[in-house]
Chains A and B, each alone.
Chain A
């Protein structure tokens, strides 16, 4: 089953997504971490997420780029967090593939395959498209790619949930 969860920054979407996995019951739990620890702020964010997950039984699998190659050892529940990082890493990180028309299809096909293999896949997306005109054409292209991925995933997902101030809003079920 594929679940897509989205919200703005600081909306409580991660906590909601973790709890969605816990509610699915006892099974192996994987946390696919996409964030590359960039500077003190990045490390602080990662620490915050780690503390939030502590004691919830997640095995962390680092996957900042090349998501479609991800292999997990067991069948269970997977939390992929988050799409904004995954897309940004592919574009800008040293191990990424850079700008490519294949980016969105590759990520979405990877997620689709994973959701076929696993019992539950919860993907966290980002509601960051409401801030008017981006400053540069590069940011515009990034937002466009991210929106493409999210639109595709929302259509593939059996369940879509928006999180606002920690509150669940059912978008599709």
Chain B
């Protein structure tokens, strides 16, 4: 698995498409949907680790702003951060994209 992280609208998806492997876009939104449906997003992570070893996964860095006022948003931001740490641990490469420029950080 290759992980591509970065802020919103920074060119994560455009960069991910240039890598080999199919792209799983905006994984944070998949996590959000799971939370909204009362499901455990860590099950998605476990499934992805087992089944998507060739995937390129993009996920937004959500933790770089003020603490959200809304409790759900706080939980969502926290879980996306922890899940991103776990995906980064599993990934053979991690890129961070800022202003369209990818930097390989792992």
Binding site for B on A (CB under 8 A): 7-12, 41, 127-132, 134-135, 139, 143, 164-167, 169
Contacts and interface: CB of A to CB of B under 8 A. Distances in A.
Interface string B63-103: 11111010100100111111011011100001010000000
13 contacts: A8-B62, A9-B62, A10-B62, A127-B63, A128-B63, A128-B65, A128-B66, A139-B66, A143-B66, A164-B105, A165-B5, A165-B85, A169-B105
B85 A12 contact: yes
Contacts, number: 71
A79 B81 CA distance: 22
Interface of B: 3, 5, 7, 61-67, 69, 71, 74, 77-82, 84-85, 87-89, 94, 96, 105-106
Contact of A10 (B78, B87, B105): B78
B64 A8 contact: yes
A90 B55 CA distance: 46
B91 to A, nearest CB: 9
- 8 cross-chain pairs, A with B, having the tightest CB-CB distances, nearest first: A10-B81, A131-B65, A8-B63, A9-B63, A165-B88, A130-B64, A166-B85, A8-B64
